Chain A
Amino acid sequence: LAKTTQPISMDSYEGQEVNITCSHNNIATNDYITWYQQFPSQGPRFIIQGYKTKVTNEVASLFIPADRKSSTLSLPRVSLSDTAVYYCLVGATIYNQGGKLIFGQGTELSVKP
């Protein structure tokens, strides 16, 4: 499974846009890119998933360049409640490794007032 590299932590202020970049140089052709959010003492929650170009939902946007060796999660106008750990996962497809998800270190986002 492709290994991912993310910043360990990021700080932001309420109302700002936050961009978290994830590197995945060894991504395979069949791999999807998936982002999860985790609050303390809770299970991770799905945010967004993409394969290439741009994906947007009501929560976030995901930008994936043509070479797919990196991806950027964009959170518009963050609030205090967006303080959490964000995980980038690659290879989260049913065709890879029986569908299992391997988590990297994640990015701890701290949003300040």
Chain B
Amino acid sequence: GAVVSQHPSRVICKSGTSVKIECRSLDFQATTMFWYRQFPKQSLMLMATSNEGSKATYEQGVEKDKFLINHASLTLSTLTVTSAHPEDSSFYICSARDVTGQGDTEAFFGQGTRLTVV
């Protein structure tokens, strides 16, 4: 089946630095990718929708200047957490779907990135 690879799986950074998380679709072209954040014991919260070749669409309440999303190719989207602070520590998950075809398709999720800001 289709695979979405996320890297790194775990990262620790110092407060004030930036961290980049990569999301790759390995065997299909993902015209659309999604970024989620999940705090302990909570559900996934959609942060933004990333469309190849265009600006990402952010959900209400998500700071676009803090969470920079780039979807430069059909197989790669990146999320950069800029000037990270301890409250940004969370589990970040990406998802990819090919929304260009006919009919419905399932969404494939990466394995997630555990970000810890110290």
Chain A interfacial positions (CB closer than 8 Å to B):
32, 34, 36, 41-46, 49, 87, 92-94, 98-106
**A44 and B109 contact, CB distance less than 8 A:** yes
**A49 and B97 contact, CB distance less than 8 A:** no
9 contacts between A and B (CB under 8 A): A41-B112, A43-B94, A44-B109, A87-B44, A98-B32, A99-B99, A100-B34, A103-B44, A106-B43
Number of A-B contacts (CB under 8 A): 62
**B104 and A32 contact, CB distance less than 8 A:** yes
The contact size tier of chain B is 20 to 34
CA distance A49 to B103 in the complex (A): 13
**A102 and B46 contact, CB distance less than 8 A:** yes
**A98 and B99 contact, CB distance less than 8 A:** yes
CA distance A102 to B46 in the complex (A): 7
Chain B interfacial positions (CB closer than 8 Å to A):
4, 6, 32, 34, 36, 43-46, 49, 57, 91, 93-95, 97, 99, 101, 103-112, 114
CA distance A106 to B72 in the complex (A): 33
**B97 and A94 contact, CB distance less than 8 A:** yes
Using A43-B110, A44-B109 as known contacts, say yes or no to A101 and B104 having CB atoms under 8 A apart.
Answer: no
Using A93-B104, A100-B49 as known contacts, say yes or no to A45 and B99 having CB atoms under 8 A apart.
Answer: no
**B104 and A49 contact, CB distance less than 8 A:** yes
**A34 and B43 contact, CB distance less than 8 A:** no
**B114 and A41 contact, CB distance less than 8 A:** yes
B28 to chain A, nearest CB (A): 14
CA distance A64 to B89 in the complex (A): 39
Q: Which residues of B lie under 8 Å from residue A34 when comparing CB positions?
A: 106
CA distance A40 to B31 in the complex (A): 28
Q: Which of B34, B44, B111 has the most CB of A within 10 A?
A: B44
The 10 closest A-B pairs by CB, nearest first: A43-B109, A99-B99, A103-B44, A46-B106, A94-B99, A103-B43, A93-B104, A43-B93, A43-B112, A44-B109
From the candidates A41, A44, A45, A94, name the one contacting B104 in the complex (CB within 8 A).
A94
**B95 and A104 contact, CB distance less than 8 A:** no
